[in-house]
Amino acid sequence: MTGAGALNGYRADYHFDELWWGSLGELRRLLDAHHFGSYCEAPVDDGGGFYMECPLAPGTEHFVHAFEHHADHVELACGHGCDEEVIRARLLAAQSLLNDLSPGAEDQVDSWYESAAALLAEPDPGPTPFLVEDLLVDGAVGAIQGQHKCGKTWVLLELALAIATGQRAFGRFDIPTPGPVLIVLEESGRAALHRRLDALRRGYGLGVAELTDLHFAANRRVRLDEQQWRRALIEAATSLEARAVFLDPLVRLKGASVDENAQKEMAPVLDFMRDLRDAAGSAVIFAHHVGHAEHRESDGR
């Protein structure tokens, strides 16, 4: 990343030339595919091509600026007020959708599918990598789901402790590559966490210092629909090089204004989990309560 000066009245704080170098049409596809919202284009005063403004969220002043310096090449820059890690995560996630597009292919619509023969002609990617052997795939986005008070948090803590320490999960499932873990708890506090973790580590005969790589935040009012918390989660998971991020429970973390039964409202929350996974290289696992209706049906009421 390199600093940049002002262009057409906007300050460009960082260039992401290592992230994107392709046609303007490809960039349009990227923005559209990853739901960046509306954007506009205008000529740059110095004649360098075009710049594109794209708000990350309605009502914000966070912009991505794209400068087309050549006929078929675009350089991306982060506008004033942006959080570069959020931009980086979203662009990296979206760019994976466009790797096979060639410059100047703006009008093509037939390059979104591939031949199975071509896929199988590539080198064997090897066996599926597991974070918890035979139980949790490395880099997964998944859920621990169950009825109220059925032990979801205990399961979550068991997995988190195993990944952070290398201890076999549930005394059975190996951890091929242990590493740091981040747990975000919004239903139980520090005292409850202390009691549970202490019971688990004593049960496995682990010393307190062996839990150094197990990090947590308890009742910090983390909300997945708020930009500042999205940035904080990406920064924390990236800085820790977390092998996994656990979120408990989804009903509190999603945000009070988000209806968990409305796909349109939940989609951005779930999309962010993928962004977090892609940015930090972490598995993202959330705990989710089964609704009251399902609970009544399951126990015959």
Tens digit of each residue's pLDDT (9 = 90 or more) over 159-184 = 999 999 999 999 999 999 999 999 99
- At residue 275, φ and ψ (nearest 5 deg) are -60, -45
- At residue 70, φ and ψ (nearest 5 deg) are -135, 170
Closest by Cα among 98, 72, 84 to 16: 84
pTM: 0.63
Do 143 and 229 share a structural domain? yes
Is 60 exceeded by the pLDDT of residue 216? yes
Q: Is residue 219 part of a domain?
A: yes
Do 43 and 144 share a structural domain? no
- pLDDT category at 27 given cuts 50, 70, 90 is low
For the chain, the domain total comes to 2
With a CB cutoff of 8 Å and minimum separation 6, the contacts of 171 are none
- pLDDT category at 103 given cuts 50, 70, 90 is very low
Tokens of 154: 């205990």
Taking residue 25's Cβ as centre, other Cβ atoms within 10 Å add up to 17
Using the 3D structure, point to which of 120, 144, 169 is the last residue of a domain: 120
> Which residue would you say has higher pLDDT here, 133 or 49?
133
Do 195 and 161 share a structural domain? yes
Using the 3D structure, point to which of 65, 87, 120 is the last residue of a domain: 120
- The whole-chain average pLDDT of the chain stands at 74
Do 137 and 92 share a structural domain? no
SS3 assignment, position 291: coil
Is 80 exceeded by the pLDDT of residue 75? no
Residue type, 212: T
CATH number at residue 139: 3.40.50.300
- Of 36-40, 247-251, 294-298, which gets the smallest average pLDDT? 36-40
Q: Is residue 125 part of a domain?
A: no
Do 139 and 70 share a structural domain? no
Using the 3D structure, point to which of 120, 149, 167 is the last residue of a domain: 120
Domain range holding 115?
A: 6-120
